[in-house]
Amino acid sequence: MSRRKTTKKAADAATGEFERAELAADFIFSKTSLRPSIALVLGSGLGAFADEFSDAVKIPYAEIPHFPRSTAVGHVGNLVIGNVDSIPVAGMQGRVHLYEGYSVKDVSFPIRVFARMGVKAVILTNAAGGIKHEFTQGRLVVIKDHINLQGANPLSGPNDERFGPRFPDMTVAYDRRFREITVGEGNRLGIGMYEGVYAAVAGPSYETPAEIRYLRAIGADLVGMSTVPEVITARHSGIRVLGISCVTNAAAGILDQPLNHMEVLETAERVKGQFIGVLKAVIPRLVAAIA
């Protein structure tokens, strides 16, 4: 991308993000009469959950004004608005990542759109590498806090007060009540779920063993390449956040074997049923909590 283009893009982002989000929200509302208060970002492999929504409309990202298009394998690229147990929900089948070449503002634009749609809670899901020894392949972990090592913040640049304040608080970015509900529902379903700290890196190369030792030393339990820009953007607008990671692999250097994306996708696929079970159990409870 040329320097001039980058500068123009930055200027657009500063002046029109609110209007662009409104345009996208209006477009989405023209396709459905449902008005979800909760939205889900379905990461690697989990997009299938949105195929189970009833009374659903499926809108390809490419049709939604200003929406980024996903290029990552396992990220279909549809926004599905439908019902889960008669509760209206918005489900993103896949997200975009910094490593695809998108800006951090593009990555979090869908959350801006959710804010304009009146969404009050988001469930962000992802695949992550397990750093803490108990976080073995296939485990589901509730994110309790994060460390942003992506070198970018979606709120950089002029602040639009219509979204939220200049300096949003991140002391409890991951809603306490949502976490409690999720760990409780996990136990009820016989899935031991723990809480952990998620470190976000830019990717796309996986970490080195030395980087994983560093991440462990600074307090990270999980590592991944997404979610944090969405969390910051959601909190900026007062949207309550639940984050759940599927540990798809032991982080680099923990086991004496190389990492590969196939392993990530295979684990996500294997755990999908369990993960969807947790989502179905928590959605009504979160919606009751925000009512």
Interface with ligand HPA (CB under 6 A): 127-129, 206-207, 223-225, 248-249, 251, 259, 264
Residue 251's alpha-carbon distances to 23, 99, 256, in angstroms, are 40, 18, 11
Question: Which of these, 263, 254, 224, lies nearest to 97 by C-alpha position?
Answer: 224
- Which one is catalytic: 249, 250, 251, 281? 249
Contact 163, 264 (CB under 8 A): no
Task: Confirm whether 249 is a catalytic residue.
Answer: yes
Residue nearest to ligand HPA (CB): 129
Task: Confirm whether 61 is a catalytic residue.
Answer: no
Nearest to ligand HPA of 93, 237 (CB atom): 93
Nearest to ligand HPA of 15, 260 (CB atom): 260
Dist CA 66 CA 71 (whole Å)? 16
Task: Confirm whether 97 is a catalytic residue.
Answer: yes
Task: Confirm whether 100 is a catalytic residue.
Answer: yes
User: Which tokens hold the place of 27?
Assistant: 């477009």
Task: Confirm whether 230 is a catalytic residue.
Answer: no
Task: Confirm whether 225 is a catalytic residue.
Answer: yes
- Which one is catalytic: 194, 261, 266, 269? 261
Residue 166: phi and psi, rounded to 5, are: -55, -45
Nearest to ligand HPA of 17, 230 (CB atom): 230
Question: Which of these, 148, 149, 288, 179, lies nearest to 244 by C-alpha position?
Answer: 179
- Which one is catalytic: 17, 100, 185, 211? 100
Task: Confirm whether 99 is a catalytic residue.
Answer: yes
- Which one is catalytic: 25, 50, 225, 250? 225
Nearest to ligand HPA of 219, 238 (CB atom): 219
Q: What is the 3-state secondary structure (H, E, C) of 208-265?
A: CHHHHHHHHHCCCCEEECCCHHHHHHHHHCCCEEEEEEEEEEECCCCCCCCCCHHHHH
The residues carrying an active-site annotation are: 44, 75, 97, 99-100, 127, 225-226, 249, 261
